[in-house]
Each structure stands twice: as structure tokens, then as C-alpha cells.
Structure 1
Amino acid sequence: MPLPFLTADGVSDVDDDGDGDEILAHADQDRWRRPYRPGPWRVAISALLLLLSAFMLLATMIVAFAGGWAGAGFCLAAALAVVGSAVQTLRVGVWVSPAGLRRVGFFVTRTVAWSEVTEIRTVQQPVRWLGLPRTVQGQALTMSGTGGAEPPVLLTDHNADFLSRAEAFDRAADTLADWAEEYGPVPA
């Protein structure tokens, strides 16, 4: 929920549509940003991981007070790994900047310059449901590059960000297409 603040001129910094996806005037325009909000499934998974890490940190404290320093160190390392997993789960997705498009995965991040992107389009194809091996028929946002390889799937309407949020998927696909049109190669 965006909180409206008034500037010195008495103008609110929040648009009337209330979707909260606007770019603030004072924001650094060259930084990487996600053109959509993380979905409820992604936030819920991260929240559960953080809850688990809280119990693990409590166990670390109990083991440390009992005098088992080796066990406390192991519990602390495991809790920090779970916290790192929660943070990385929130970072997963597509990020854009004037430099290019970045697809952040849990373990691998790939960056493609806008000059290498030839087309971004939405296609109907089998997609993975919440990233699991099960596939369902859905929409996928794919990118064609100058390399001629199979187009990678950037977003699907059944991933943790867009499951049961078709309008948010359409908005994100349009936003990514707009970024590609604005910063992509100029057609001859």
C-alpha cells in the first residue's frame, strides 16, 4: 500500500490510479528495477522461510546457552542460509534498466543488452505451474535475441508472481515490451 506524501508545493507524490507502479521522480533512472510487483505466492513463500529461520535462530540461542558451540554454529549457518534463500526468492524475476534486461533466477542470473533483443512477445504454450515440473497450458512471455537460439521464457501467467492474476501478467508483458521498444535497436 503506497503512502501518500505531500511535497513542499502541496502536491501528492502518488497517482490517482493507486496501482503503485509509478517511478518516483527522485529515483535513480539507471538502476535495475522490476517492472511489476512480486506476487502473493512469492511473498508467502519468503514469509514462511523467514518464519522458519526465526525458529532456527531460537534453536541456535538455546543450543548456545546449553554450551554446544559447534551445534550453535551449525544452527546459525543453517538459519542464515534460509534467510538468504528467502531474500533470493524475492529477487527472482525479470529486472530492467536502460542497459538491458536481466533475468534473475534462484542460482543463475543472465543479462541481455537491449541491442541484442529483437522481439518480446506473448505465446500460448505449456508452462510450469509455480516452477514445479507439472505443466499446464498458459501464456509465456518470450524474448527473441540476435543469437538465434530458442527464445527463453521470461514470465508465465502460472509462476509465483502471476498465478490467478491475469491482468497483472498482461500489464507486466506490456511494460517489458515498452522497455524493449524504447531502448531496443532502432529498426532500419
Structure 2
Amino acid sequence: MQHDEPDEHDEYASGGRPLPHAAQERWMRPYRPGPWRVGIAALALMLASYLMFAALIMVAATSVQGAGLCLGLAVLVIVATLRLLRVGVWLSRKGLRQVTFFSTVTLPWRQVAGVRTAQQPVKVLGMPRTVQGQALVIVRRGGDPLRTLVTDHNADFLGRVEAFDIAADAIEGWAAELG
């Protein structure tokens, strides 16, 4: 049976991004991880593979304690890398979730007072150095904003201003539709 009309809940019918009215139950990031984040993750996973290979060599040399240490470090690097790849803003019908490296804040849509972009000093790749840039500001009911996580100079959008604008518009659209 041929199916010519796209399903309203088909995420590929809207160019790969679900529309706010087709909000889904699963948490999704409305943008892809940027090249800086993916590159750092790739280097970290390469380090983990070298550590696992070192553990293999140490087992062959009967140094079980050293092999255990290398294997433990490799697992730690892999877990940290997976967490690094999850950092960002995630959306679902339930609300907005802001994932940082060490914590996660989940707000139901009724607690989100506003989402907007603002010109302000932002950190470059999370380092202490700041430059003037754009940031996505998420304000809770009660007035206090969440920690600024999505900027045009973070690991997802450095050098990709257009991608930042698209992601900010998508998050603002979800907030306007479901908030």
C-alpha cells in the first residue's frame, strides 16, 4: 500500500526536525552536536582505546593491577565522553531539559516564562575568556534565568552562526507553542 502524504508525526516530513505541534514523548535535542563537541569526543574515545590496548598489553605482561587501572581509566573516559555528547538543551512534550556536564535541570513547560536570544558576553568553548555574542536565555516563572548553556560560541555553534539561529528559533518555537 502506497503512502503519499507525510504523517504529521513523522520527523522526516519536516526536514528532520519535529515541529512543535508534533511534540513527542521522547526527549530530543533540536540541533545536532557541533564539530567541536564531536571532535573532542572523538579524541577522548581514541584515548580510551589506547588505554584499553595498554590494559591488554599489561595483562599479557601479567601486571593485573596496572591493567585494571588502565581499564578503569578507559571506562571513566568513555562515560565522561558520553556525558559530554549529551550536554545541551533537550525538548519534549513534557518540558525543557537543560543538561550540563555535572547536572540536569528539567522544567515543565508551565514553569518556562520565556525563551529569547540576547546579545551578552559569552564564554568561548566554555573557557574563562568571554567575547560579545548571542546566548539563548531561558527564564523560569518567578524571574530567574537558567544558566546560559546555548551560545553562538559554545562547542555546538562556534563558527556556525546560522545553525545557532535555527536552533534558537526551534527552541523558541517549542516554548511558544507548548509554554
Matched, 1:179 2:149: no
Report the Cα distance in structure 2 between the residues aligned to 1:161 and 1:153, rounded to whole angstroms.
14
Aligned length: 172
The 5-angstrom pairing of residues 1-188 of structure 1 reads 9=2, 21-23=16-18, 29-184=24-179
- Secondary structure of residue in 2 paired with 1:159: coil
Deviations 1:151-170 (A, max 9, x none): 53141000000001011000
Alignment RMSD: 2.2
Percent identity of paired positions between Structure 1 and Structure 2: 52
Q: Which runs of 5+ in 1 are unaligned?
A: 1-7
Amino acid in structure 1 at the alignment position of 2:163: A
Contact 1:145 1:151 in 2 (8 A): yes
CA deviation digits over 1:24-54, x for unaligned, max 9?
9xx9920000000100000000000001111
| Unpaired segments ≥5 residues, structure 2 | none
CA contact (8 A) 2:89 2:96 kept: yes
Distance (Å, rounded) in 2 between the aligned partners of 1:180 and 1:48: 35
TM-score w.r.t. structure 2 length?
0.88
CA contact (8 A) 1:141 1:153 kept: yes
Q: Which amino acid aligns with 1:75?
A: C
- Specify whether residues 84 and 145 from structure 1 end up closer, same or farther in structure 2 by C-alpha distance, changes over 3 A only: same
Shift of 1:70: 1.1
